[in-house]
Amino acid sequence: MEILQLIVSGLANGCIYGLIALGFALIYKAAEQVNFAQGDLMMFGAFVALGLTNDSHLGLPFWVACIGAVTAMAVLGWLLERSVLRRVFGQSQIAVVILTIAFGFLLRIAAGLIWGHDPLTLESPIAGVNQHFGGLVLGLDELTVIAVTLVLTAILFGFFSRTKLGIAMQASSQNQLAAYYMGIPVKRIHGLTWALAGAIAAVAGILFASKGSIDPNTGLLGIKAFAAAVIGGFGSLPGALAGGLIVGLIEPFAARYVASGYSQIAPYAMLILVLLIRPHGLFAQIHAKKV
């Protein structure tokens, strides 16, 4: 029973890492840019939902607040690409990295100024509710995280494989110049990709806040999510989710069976091992480009 408990807990955390890593992969796949503010977008999305729900003046129903937070973060992602990153399009990767790191710092500062630096808890209907299956006790929040991730993954798969916009995004990611000549609005696609990454980050933030408290430093989870994206194969959407699950499963078992001083480095040890064996990640999608 203990092993099953660790597996479910690891899967729940892994789903959150996977959703954040999915944002990394989406943006890199579409625009070949690395967004180091993805974790902070997740954190800020959680705080927006918390503000809409917990605020004594607004006090919106939980599900309405979730929709509001997801919409707000999608708009924020679009605005970031439209107003800042589009201006450095074609520049070196280091320019985008520095800009996104700086934007992440700004989000942390803004969250601290608005909501303070003390841990806060989202008023969620799924928090603190347990489900009993024989001798196994599972939190409804953990089951919800896993279920929402599965549903969102199915929706994204259908979006990219069945819709014209999703196919256009894939075409843009494969060859931006060819997509432009075929009439695909590449710049608009990039903006929509950032909006989608922001929305997914908000979903991850709400799910994480439903499991525990949050503070402005919660965005540092993006570091583990980045490791997950690299383990799965940077730019691979299935790989991002798989990498998140791998990191999530490693953590509880390392905490249980490895000395506390070493358990925290287990995900990064896995990252090094994967890079030594498969430098492009476990599920990398490598395409040769003609130049």
> 281 in helix, strand or coil?
coil
> 216 in helix, strand or coil?
helix
Distance CA 240, CA 283 (A): 9
Distance CA 7, CA 256 (A): 12
Q: pLDDT for 6-15, tens place per residue?
A: 888 889 999 9
Q: For residue 68, which of 46, 100, 35 has the smallest C-alpha distance?
A: 46
Buried b (16+ CB within 10 A) or exposed e, 159-183: ebeeeeebebbebbbeebeebeeee
**Reported confidence tier of residue 290, pLDDT bands at 50, 70, 90:** very low
Domain for residue 162, yes or no? yes
Domain for residue 103, yes or no? yes
| Mean pLDDT, rounded, for 53-63 | 79
Q: pLDDT for 99-147, tens place per residue?
A: 999 999 999 999 999 999 999 998 888 777 777 766 677 778 888 899 9
Domain for residue 27, yes or no? yes
Domain for residue 75, yes or no? yes
Number of domains within the chain: 1
| Mean pLDDT, rounded, for 230-242 | 86
Q: Is 86 exposed, middle or buried (0-12, 13-18, 19+ CB in 10 A)?
A: middle
Q: pLDDT for 165-210, tens place per residue?
A: 878 777 776 666 677 767 777 778 888 889 999 999 999 999 999 8
* Percent of residues in the chain assigned helix, strand, coil, to nearest 5: 75, 5, 20
Residue 168 in contact with residue 38, Cβ under 8 Å?
A: no
Domain for residue 232, yes or no? no
Domain for residue 281, yes or no? no
Task: Report the share of the chain in percent with pLDDT over 70.
Answer: 92
Mean pLDDT of the chain: 85
Domain ranges, residue 142: 14-219
Q: Look at residue 256 in the predicted model and tell me its pLDDT.
A: 83
Angle at 68 between CA 67 and CA 70, to 5 degrees: 65
Domain for residue 248, yes or no? no
Query: Is it the case that residue 57 has pLDDT exceeding 70?
Result: no
The rounded Cα 173 to chain-centroid distance in angstroms is 19
The pTM of the full predicted model, rounded to 2 decimals, is 0.89
Domain for residue 261, yes or no? no
